[in-house]
Amino acid sequence: MLLIVIAAAAFLSTFLGGMLALKLHDKLHLILGFSAGAVIGVAFFDLLPEAINFGAKFHSSATILTFTALGFLSYLVLDRILSFHGEAAPRGAFAAGVLCIHSLLDGVAIGLAFQASQQIGIVVAVAVLTHDFSDGINTMNIVLKNRSNRPQAFRWLMVDALAPVLGIASTYFFTLPGEGFGIVLALFAGFFLYIGASDLIPESYHAHPKFLTTAMTLAGAAVLYVAVALVGQ
């Protein structure tokens, strides 16, 4: 029953974040700035520490960081391939797809944590819910900024909102080895660092090179830092 409530909360948090981004589309540069900070904050303050924590028994920190670099560079290559063909919409779909897969893994993390114990499961669930709202904003922003229309963006938002629900449900059918989960988290940290640093930050600042845009980026990172720090206490 508790997992059902958490799954519903994850869906609602992601959906509300995306709807906020859609409603405030005329302020997209500010939302993009916040999203950039949030994406990078998730990578540095949540994904990387969790990757090192989960993989500590099986891999060195250097190995985990190597997979983070691999995630960053592999995303770079795929992004450049799409850019070479001059198709903006597939780039947006690819980025949104990565965010949705991350949300799926969020759900998997919750389910596996509850397999360990209810206490660990609740801590992980709170950590996930604190950034699900930003996940919805990020997904909507990435699709809209790559010249997709609102119905397409809304469809991606629904996929992203449903992803953690499916992730939680999937853990009733399998158990992921600890060594694999740390590596997966490290790869996604690399993906997120690329999306934030090479996509969202330049896009937010290009048309509106204002201090407020930069301040929103810092605010996005700060919000994620505080949220993760509070959950970790």
- Phi/psi class of residue 59: alpha, beta or left (left: φ > 0; alpha: ψ in -120 to 50)? beta
Looking at per-residue confidence, does 147 or 228 come out higher? 228
Range picked from 92-96, 178-182, 210-214 for highest mean pLDDT: 210-214
Dihedral angle of Cα 96, 102, 108, 109, to the nearest 10 degrees: -150
Angle, CA of 79, 109 and 159, to the nearest 5°: 50
- pLDDT, average across residues 45-64: 87
Question: Can you give the pLDDT at residue 162?
Answer: 95
Whether the full predicted model's pTM is greater than 0.85, yes or no, is no
Q: Is the pLDDT of residue 59 over 80?
A: yes
Between CA 174 and CA 4 the distance in angstroms is 18
CB 13 within 8 A of CB 133: yes
Q: Is the pLDDT of residue 124 over 90?
A: no
pLDDT for 11 beyond 80:
yes
- Model confidence pLDDT, tens digit, residues 148-176: 677 888 889 999 999 999 999 998 888 77
What pLDDT shows up at residue 212? Answer: 85
All structural domains of the chain with their residue ranges = 2-232
What pLDDT is stored for residue 208 in this prediction?
Answer: 65
CB-based contact 160:33 (threshold 8 Å): no
* Cα atoms found within 13 Å of the Cα of residue 212, Cβ hemisphere only: 7
pLDDT value at residue 199: 75
pLDDT score at 89: 61
Percent of the chain having pLDDT more than 70? 87
User: Is the model's pLDDT at 88 over the cut of 70?
Assistant: no
In sequence order, what are the residues at sequence separation of 6 or more whose Cβ sits closer than 8 angstroms to the Cβ of residue 11? 161, 162, 164, 165
